[in-house]
Each structure stands twice: as structure tokens, then as C-alpha cells.
Structure 1
Amino acid sequence: MFSYRHAFHAGNHADVLKHTVLIATLTHLLEKDAALTVVDTHAGAGLYRLDGDYADTSGEAAEGLLRLIAAKPKDGAPLADAIARYLGVIADFNPKGGAKVYPGSPFIIQHLLRDHDRLKLYELHPTDAKTLDANIAQLDAGRQIAVLREDGFLSASKFLPPPSRRALVLMDPSYEIKSDYGRVLEFAAEALKRFATGTYAVWYPIIPRPEAHDLPRRLKTMATKAGKSWLHATLTVKSSKLTSTPTGETKRPGLPASGMFLINPPFTLKPQLAAALPQLAELLAQDRHAAFSLDSGG
């Protein structure tokens, strides 16, 4: 249950998609003066070193963030605003240039929040929870941030609705176990019952598993039945097919694609992603199967 460590995957193409969408969403929500509460059900360690042992082991940032930093659109067009804002946040954490430090969702969120906003972070992994505590302590954020060593799927809904009646909930479990897909659906349904006008964002991996393909379809059905708007964005960087090495061994391709599904998304998000996703697919492509999709309803 506790074998997944996001440090191995920090800055990969899935993080690029997730955090580009997260920043674009938060930027809109923070335009209103009223306080915003953000809940992260699976916070991780919060901050990662891309020159550390974990990142070096996988090298996934090289095909994600680091490739994006070095690349330029082929048509010479400027980067889409959503991508530029994402890279701007990463640059804020690396004032000397480069990208040695990668902020996870908790630090990206806190970096953008105002003093009167609130952030609730859940993390059960014993090592990551301890690291998250230490990382958050460096911020000296006082009451703005609460770190809870609890199961976010069981406890996070207790903060809904917040006093200001404005909230963003991010759900991005590892999906290491199949039950995570069902738990996302159960939590989203409960959260919508408690707070129908909140914004809910779900990240998920697109892999050859029935549950992964059923999740966005079932979220769409849930949102539609509740009369809520929704947005679904995906980014594919390579084929999901198994390949063979020169020695005849079967090689798994690693994560080929991921998606973000939002319920009650900001109305500004779709046009921003319509500009950003084609560039991400072009710049992060690892083979000819790179692609993107963007759909919405409600």
C-alpha cells in the first residue's frame, strides 16, 4: 500500500499536465476576493529535488519538465499562456535558473494562495508525510496550511462546504491499487452532495486497465446527472504498446498518457487548454503517437 513514491516521477509529463491545469484553475478562482479553501487528498512530500537520487533513478523529468523548458514550438509561436504560467511558477522555485527543485501540488497551491485562503493537505505514506511536515514547516505559514496524516478519501469532505463557500478539491492518488478508481468516484459523489458548487479536479493515469478508461466516463455521468459542468483533458506522449529489446525481453513503455477531469471548472479553462494542449503534445512527444483531447459539457 505504501510503495508508491512520487519523488521517482516528479516533473514528468503527467505532472506537467496536472500542474498546468491546476495553475490555470487556481489563477481564475483567486480573482475573486472571497477566501478560497483548497483540499489536496494525496499531497505527497510537497517538494522534490530533480538532481536527487529518486529523480536520477527514473529520469522522468528529462522527458517532461526539462524537455519543455528546452523546447520551442516548431511554428515559432510563443508558448501558450497556461504553459508560460506553469513554467513561471517552476522558475519561482529556482531563482538561480534551471530546474533543480520541483514543487508538488501543495507548494504550487501555497505559492499562489493569498493570506486569507486556506490549504488542507492529506498524506498517509509515513515517509512522505514526515517529509511534507518538514517542508511545510519551512514556509512558516501558520494557520493557512493544515497537514493531516489521514486518509483524504475518508476525511477531506468534512471541510466541505468551507465558511466562504468557495473550494477547490484536488484528487490525485497513485492508483497503485485498483480500488483507488472506485474511491475517487465515491469521494467525488459525497463531496458534490455536501458542496454542489465546489470545483473538483481529478488526475488519473491512462493505462491498459479497464478502471482507468471507465473513470472519466463515470465522472462525466455523475456530473451530468447532477446538472454540473465538466471538462476532460488528456495528454498522450507515446504508444502504450509493449516493445521488445534486442535481447528479446519485453519492455513496458512507462506511463504513456494521463488525464484531468474537472467538475465545475472555471469557464476560462477550456480556451486556455485549447491553446496549451497542442503545444504540450508537440513539445513532449516521445513518438508519433503523441496526441491530446479536450472535451466539455454541462
Structure 2
Amino acid sequence: MLAYRHAFHAGNHADVLKHLVLAQVLQYMVDKGKPFRYIDTHAGAGGYLLKGAQAQKNAEYREGIGRLWSRADMPAPVADYVRLVHDFNLPGPDEQGNPPVIEKGYTPPLALYPGSPSIARALLTPGDALRLFELHPADARTLMTHFGGRRNAQILNEDGFAGLKSQLPPTPRRAVVLMDPSYELVGDYGKTVAALRDAMTRFAEGVYMVWYPQVSRVEAVQLPKRLSALAPKGWLHVRMTVAQPNRQGFGLSGSGMFILNPPWTLHATLEAVLPWLTQQLAQFDGASYHLEYQPA
């Protein structure tokens, strides 16, 4: 677990799908006008330097957010997501605290990529709460530096699988939970199912999002079916396949998101967006997507 650093993969095709879905879910919750709690069980560092040594090792962002950065023909939900990344790359205030002067239509260089906590911070209102779990000590310190001063924010240097129990049920009784462990340890698949089962027992009304990698592991293939059994109120499963495994059958072919109690608008949004997005991110002729929805 501690060996994993998301900085090596920041902004790749899996991040595009994950953060597109996350932004849609959070915006839906915000539009309801009622405070809620956002809980991130594996928050990471909150933001990543794409020109840094880790991100540059394989430069995965070039086949993800890099393919969308300068597009002018994006569907509205994709454009909204890209705008969040765009704003994360804008210069901050000067030494005197004055806001920067930015010309209309200016597109900054793609130098930074926001993690899930930064996507959430950009969308949540002052009345909403952030609960960010991160086990890696260096990433937890980075989160504390950038999020510790925010009202209603808590950064917890703890195991998010175990810590989720302390956050449910929330006050007020509205919550969005994102679980996206690295799955480097095969036991993470079982821990994800167990944590979600417990969470549904404690707070069945919550919106729960689980990200998973599309890799040559039976546990990854079985995970969506195991999660569907936990969702009596309905679920949505989206998977996007954009790359081929290597000759040994390994590598990240794509990724998926499984949402328990999804917003009713999410299926139609993804149904309209996925054909375009899959085509733009495709790295081989067989790129495809899968979208399945079980209403409540």
C-alpha cells in the first residue's frame, strides 16, 4: 500500500473517467442546495506536478487529459471536467495577495493535475464537509498543507477502509463516498467489498463510488458483480477500455466506476458522452465502453 504513489499515473485515461464521473455526481449533489459530506478513502496528495520526475516517467497524462486539453469540440460534461483541470493550472495570487490578471480565452500550459480532493474542493460549497483519508505519510502531509485550513475539512492519516466506519452515518444525512485504492495488493478487492457492505449497513442512503482498474486479474473482473449485490436501491456500472495489454497480458487496459445509489441523471449523461470520449482516448482499434444501469 505505502509503495503506491498516484503521481506516476496522474491525468491518465483512468483519471479522466474517474474525475468526469466524480464531477457529475458532486455537481448533482451541490445543485440540490443541501449540505453534504464528501468522503475520500484514498485521497492521495490532492494535486500532481505533471512535469515532475514521477509523472514524466511514463507520461501517462499525455494519453489522458493531454488529448483533451486543447479541444474545442468537447461535449458539455467533458468540457466541464476539463475546465476544472484548466482552473487548477491558473496562476495564483501574487506576493501581495492580488488575483492574477487573466485574459479571456487564455489556456494555461498543462503543468498540474488535480487529484480527487481538489476536484471536490472546486465544486463543494462552504457548507459542505470534506473528509480525506490518506495512509501514505508524505501525501497526508501535502493534503494537510493544502486542505487543513479549509472550514469543515479533516485530513486523516489513516487507513480509509477502516476509517470509513467513523464517518457514517453523516450529519447531515447526505454523503458521497469515493473509494479508489491502488489495488496493488490483491486483498484490496475484498477490503473494498467489505467496506462497502459495512457502509451500506450504516448508511444505505449514501452515494458510493468505487473506481477499479481493468487488469488481468480475476478479482478485478468479479468486482462489479460483487458490488451489485450490495445495492438494493440501484446502481450504475461504467467501464472504458482504451488500451491493449502488453505481450505478457499485463497493463492497464482501462478502468471502471461502480456507483451505488447513483444520481438519476448520470446514466443519460454518460450514454451521450462515452462514444465521443472513448474515441478520443482510444489507443487501439478495439477501444470500447460498457454502460449498465439498474434503477432503484
Q: Do these two structures clear the TM 0.5 threshold for a shared fold by scoring above it?
A: yes
Identity among equivalent positions (%) equals 46
Quick check: 1:123 aligned with 2:123?
A: no
1:214-244 superposed Cα distances (whole Å, 9 cap, x missing partner): 1001111221xxx21100001111122x33x
1:30-52 superposed Cα distances (whole Å, 9 cap, x missing partner): 11122110000000011111111
Matching residue of 2:47 = 47
| From 172, 176, 184, the counterpart of 2:184 | 176
1:166 to partner: Cα distance? 0.5
**Alpha-carbon contact 1:201-1:263 (below 8 Å) kept:** yes
Q: Count residues with an aligned counterpart.
A: 279
The one-letter code of the counterpart of 1:221 is A
**Alpha-carbon contact 2:181-2:188 (below 8 Å) kept:** yes
1:281 to partner: Cα distance? 0.7
1:157 to partner: Cα distance? 2.2
Matching residue of 1:92 = 87
The one-letter code of the counterpart of 2:109 is G
1:1-298 matched pairs, under 5 angstroms: 1-71=1-71, 78-95=73-90, 97-137=108-148, 140-141=149-150, 143-223=151-231, 227-240=232-245, 242-243=246-247, 254-298=251-295
**Alpha-carbon contact 1:157-1:191 (below 8 Å) kept:** yes
Distance in 2 between the 1:4 and 1:182 partners? 18
1:253 to partner: Cα distance? 5.8
1:261 to partner: Cα distance? 0.2
1:127-173 superposed Cα distances (whole Å, 9 cap, x missing partner): 21122222324xx31x3210001111111222111111110000000
**Alpha-carbon contact 1:238-1:288 (below 8 Å) kept:** no
1:61-105 superposed Cα distances (whole Å, 9 cap, x missing partner): 011100122457xxxxx4222211101111111226122111100
C-alpha RMSD of the superposition? 1.4
Distance in 2 between the 1:41 and 1:100 partners? 26
1:115 to partner: Cα distance? 0.5
**Alpha-carbon contact 1:81-1:272 (below 8 Å) kept:** no
Q: Identify if the C-alpha distance between structure 1 residues 254 and 70 changes in structure 2 by more than 3 Å, giving closer, same or farther.
A: farther
Normalised TM-score (structure 1) = 0.90
Matching residue of 1:247 = none
Distance in 1 between the 2:117 and 2:34 partners? 20
Q: Which ranges in structure 2 are unaligned for 5 or more consecutive residues?
A: 91-106
